[in-house]
Each structure stands twice: as C-alpha cells, then as structure tokens.
Structure 1
Amino acid sequence: MKRYALLLLALSSSYSSAQDNLTAFGTDKIEQWEKEVFSGETVYEQVSLEGEPVLRALSNKSASGLVLKKRIDLQQTPFIQWRWRISKQLPNLKEQTKAGDDYAARIYLVIEDGFMGLKTKALNYVWSSSQVQGSVWNNAYVGENVKMLAIQGQSASTHQWYSEQRNVYQDMIRYFGDKGSSEANLEAYRYIDAVAIMTDTDNSGLAAESYYGDIVFSAE
C-alpha cells in the first residue's frame, strides 16, 4: 500500500459555503492545509509570480502533498476552478504503472465511504507527461477507486498558465458509475471530504517545479 491508500485513509470532513476559495494565496488561509509526507518532502511555498500570489511546488525525488480536510457540498458548488503551470515536462513516463506514477502537478478530490474509508473514492486531476488530454485510467497502486484524469497532457506547453474548470459532481457520476437515479447519485456523490495538492517525482527519481493558482469551488 503506497501513499494513495494512506492519504485516502487519513482524510476527514467539515462544511463549505456556496462559493469557496480554498486557498486564497497571499493570505494565511493556506495554513489550514496539512502536510502529508510519503517519500521525501516536496517543498510548497507561497511566492509572487508575475505580480500574483501563487503556490510553488518543488519536488526532488520526493512525494508529499498538502491536504485540506473539508466537506464540500457538490449540490451547492459542483464546479472546481484552478490555474496551474509547470516549468519542465517530465519525460514520457508509463503512468499506468507503479514505476511511472509521478506527476508534475495534480489535484485530488476525495469522497470517504464505508468503515475506515475502505470504499473511499478519489478523482485525481493530473498534468500527464505521457497521456493525451482527456485520457482516464485507474491508479496503478489503488486501482479503480482512484481515477486519473489527464487535464493537461503531453502536448501542453511549459511556463504557461492553464485555467481549468470541471463539474466534479458529473465527473463522479461518469467515472465511478451512475447509480440509476438523481436521488441515488446525490446520496453517493454529494460531498467531497478532502482536497489535496501534490507534485511528486519519487518513482522516477527526477525533479519537478510547478505552480498552482487559487482553487475555488462554485455554483457555476
């Protein structure tokens, strides 16, 4: 069991508002995020880039993340928006294998389910080094309970900001299965219990530098 299972079992909950900036870089809000170290420590620090406060992540053969344990109501705020950029693309890693399970940038969205979180599910929005944009696959360590979605792929540019938006509620239904009715889907997928940021290169033994803008949940 590698870092993903440990991360999923570590997460708990609280409540969110109708629109919520989870990070608000440039303030002390990021201090609510907890450090999770799995294999060496990725350095996360607030910096100013092009005149704006952002989060810089520096990984050197490391795997650690920042986790916000907070319940987010997807009935009220189903959309997530964020910006990110990378300084250098990782080589063409075999991301569907354990040896290639590294990403210059990624965002986890976690739903806890079942006793001790044994049925926990997570969407993993990643900046892929080898897959085309839009590719989806099961995590190499955890399997079908963690879906990897290539939001940016091998053709993405470095040193360029990309603004993203996803309907998390619809992604949950699409990738973990339609329960057959709106009521059943709402019961299964209404709440996100935690959000995590991770830049990691422990498997490949490489280095990565990435930047994250504010992560916001909203109604539209």
Structure 2
Amino acid sequence: MLKASLILLSLLPAAAQAVDVGRFKESSGAPPAPWRLQTLNDKLAPTHYALRDWDGVNAIEAKAKASMALMARPLSVDLAKTPVLCWRWRVDAPLKNADLRTKEGDDYAARVYITFKIKPEALDFATRAKLRIGRAIFGDQLPDAAINYVWDNRYPVGTREPSAYTDRVRLIVARSGAADAGHWVDERHDVLADATQAFGPDIAAARQLAVASDTDNTGEEAHAGFADLHFVARDAPCVF
C-alpha cells in the first residue's frame, strides 16, 4: 500500500510544486506578514486593504477613493524553475477616465506589480543615473525594473507600454473593459518571459510582489479583489 502511494505521488503533475505567495487562510483582518502596506507618497490618501471572504474566496479586498498605496510582500521565488505567476482577481468596474499613456490617467482599478533586480553589469551609465535620481526622490523602494499587469479600461489585452512616469516600469494589459467585471477571473502570465522581453536577459531576481487599486490621478473610486497568487513551472497548470 505504501509503495503504491509513493508511486502515485511520483506521478502527480508539477502543479504540486506551486510556490504560494498570496493564498490566504484568513477571511478577515489585515493581510498577514510578510504582506505590508507600502505608501509611495505621504501626501496621498492610501488605498484601504483588508482580507475578506468574497463569494467563497479568501482574498485581499482593495477600496480606493482618489488614493494610492501598494499591498506588498518580498519575493524569493526561483524564476528559472517557476516563472509563471497565477492569480485570481475581480473588479466592480474598470475606471472611466484612466489612460495608461498619460501621467494624468495613470490609474487602474486593479494591478499586480512585480519588481526585479537587474545584474549590475547590465545597467548602463544612463540607466544607473536615472535610478540614482529616482531613488533620491522616491527612496530605495524604486526598483531596477518592474512589470505591472493591469485591468485597464480602454486598451486591448496584450497592450504593452512603458509607464508614463518611467521606462523602468512596463505595463501589460492583462484584462480590459467591463465584460469580466463583477466576478472572479483567473490569470496566468510568464513573468520571466515578460521581464526578459521588456528589460533583456539579465534579470537577477524577482524582489517584490504587490497588488493595488490606484486612483490618485483621476480621483475615481475602485473596488477590487486579489487571491490565490502563486508561481508554477511553465509546463504546470495553475492551482485554483
């Protein structure tokens, strides 16, 4: 019996090796450590985050009202082994006036944000200078590079653009419009492939994962949820 069980275990798909980074047992209260609120500007009202049971899914709920803050956690995932990020999210509605190509419209009902460390020798002088200036303004939390998967209001899924603020942050439209609003939808994205396409092959490590509802530029309101964030191998299914 034991031998048969071991054989069956050996035949299980690689999905069993999923690296959980945001799967919550709790259904109330603040998101547990290592998740923490990260504000980018002390003058801005922060988006409110809390755990809730939302249609049977334990999730981070985000409520934004002319506000901005990240709910973030450090990452130590091996992207060579598990480069694919899976998650569930939902929004009540996309924003009305956002436009990712402008600073005035740089808001999103929901976004998932991954930062990266780039190998130092791969950063040219101009990039190092930009990062040094940026960190003097925004602090050491400014990453070498970052990918934002966004639920957009106007551009089609698959759109890729640099941030209106910095080309060290790239935006990828993962979901767009209101067709899927009001219920949970699943996402699957190859983070390493997307980062390599945006910044080249010298990705040293993924450093931070964050979720956010962001409405400080447009002054709008947003209501979103995030759940079941985990990394898997390219040949493994997501585990929902």
Which has the higher Rg, Structure 1 or Structure 2? Answer: 2
Match of 1:172 in 2: 195
Match of 2:228 in 1: 214
- Residues 52 and 155 of structure 1: CA distance in aligned 2, closer, same or farther (over 3 Å): closer
Match of 1:9 in 2: none
CA displacement at 1:153 relative to structure 2: 1.2
- Structure 1 distance, partners of 2:177, 2:61, is 21
- Structure 1 distance, partners of 2:66, 2:97, is 16
Q: Specify the code of the residue in structure 2 equivalent to 1:169.
A: L
Task: Name the TM-score, length of structure 1 as normaliser.
Answer: 0.81
Q: Specify the code of the residue in structure 1 equivalent to 2:198.
A: Y
Structure 1 spans left out of the alignment, 5+ residues: 1-17, 178-184
- Structure 2 distance, partners of 1:161, 1:52, is 9
The farther-off stretch of 195-204 and 70-79 is: 70-79
- Structure 2 distance, partners of 1:190, 1:19, is 21
CA contact (8 A) 1:80 1:215 kept: yes
Match of 2:138 in 1: none
CA displacement at 1:167 relative to structure 2: 1.1
SS of the residue corresponding to residue 76 of structure 2 reads: strand
How many residues in Structure 1 have an aligned counterpart in Structure 2? 193
CA displacement at 1:190 relative to structure 2: 4.8
CA contact (8 A) 2:99 2:107 kept: no
CA contact (8 A) 2:117 2:204 kept: no
CA displacement at 1:129 relative to structure 2: 1.1
CA displacement at 1:155 relative to structure 2: 5.2
Given the alignment of the two structures, is residue 78 of structure 1 paired with residue 83 of structure 2, yes or no?
Answer: yes
CA contact (8 A) 1:74 1:190 kept: no
Structure 2 spans left out of the alignment, 5+ residues: 1-16, 121-127, 133-142
Percent of paired sites with the same residue: 27
CA displacement at 1:109 relative to structure 2: 0.9
Q: Specify the code of the residue in structure 2 equivalent to 1:21.
A: D
Match of 2:65 in 1: 60
CA RMSD of aligned residues (A): 2.0
CA displacement at 1:70 relative to structure 2: 2.1
